[in-house]
Amino acid sequence: MEKEIKIFKALGDEKRLEILSLISRKNMCAKGIARHLNITESAVSQQIKVLKEANLIIGYKVGYHIIYDINEDSLKNSIKFIDSIIDNNSIIADTNLDKLICSDKCKHLKCISDYKFKEGLIMKICFPVESFNGLKSIPYGHFGSAPHFVICDIETKEVRLIGNGDLGHEHGKCQPIKALSGETVDAVIVGGIGAGAIRKLGSMGIKTFKAIDGDLEENLKAFNNGTLKEFSANHTCNHDGCSHH
């Protein structure tokens, strides 16, 4: 990741960002950049050196001057790198969440150490819903845009409602742990859900199942009977197939 580190270090300076913004609108030489930004030409040269080392700009000779332009490919690759982190695609090799162990029990509500990676009993089930009517509530068509979540504790028979803590997110950018407001659950039963949310929930040991037609009570019966279909990690949520709201 040496290339990405150089890029982010280069971007961590306001003046260098101003230079990139300027030459993205109009290619120019160091003297022109200095004049527009009201700094010395030597100061521009120092900043350009850093940007060139990070491969963020390209210089080409025109007459007696070197004209600078942004390196679009390098910037686009940086964006892809960030997107891959957001989408939870592993860039850093040999990072296995199952092997991450805190030295002591972490007090942070959302710490991975508080989640149980298990194939055993599922005790707490989350149902995204639009309105609350106890076990007669209807599962919502999409996880991320559900206004509320019903948490069913199979062991204690407790049924309670929580709000969606990430309701205003951009489509496709759902943060499921934030949406659940730190609530610990073992499974989610929902009409539809995106691949990114499935991966993020799965990384915390939370299984996701496709809801059937009917209320929560009927879905719980189907779950206990083992007839609910588990979403695959590469499932794609489209607006029609997932009853997207």
Task: Report residue 104's pLDDT band, with 50, 70 and 90 as the boundaries.
Answer: very low
Q: How far apart are CA 143 and CA 221, in angstroms?
A: 21
**From 52-61, 144-153, 187-196, 227-236, the region with the lowest mean pLDDT:** 227-236
Give me the architecture of the 2-83 domain, per CATH: Orthogonal Bundle (1.10)
Give the pLDDT score at 243.
44
pLDDT cut 90: percent of the chain above it: 44
Gap between the Cα atoms of 223 and 241, Å rounded: 21
Model confidence, pTM: 0.54
Name the percent of the chain lying above pLDDT 70: 79
Confidence of residue 217 (pLDDT cuts 50, 70, 90): very high
60: which residues sit within 8 A by CB, 6+ positions away? 66, 67, 69
Confidence of residue 171 (pLDDT cuts 50, 70, 90): low
Whether residue 78 has pLDDT greater than 70: yes
CATH number of 110-230: 3.30.420.130
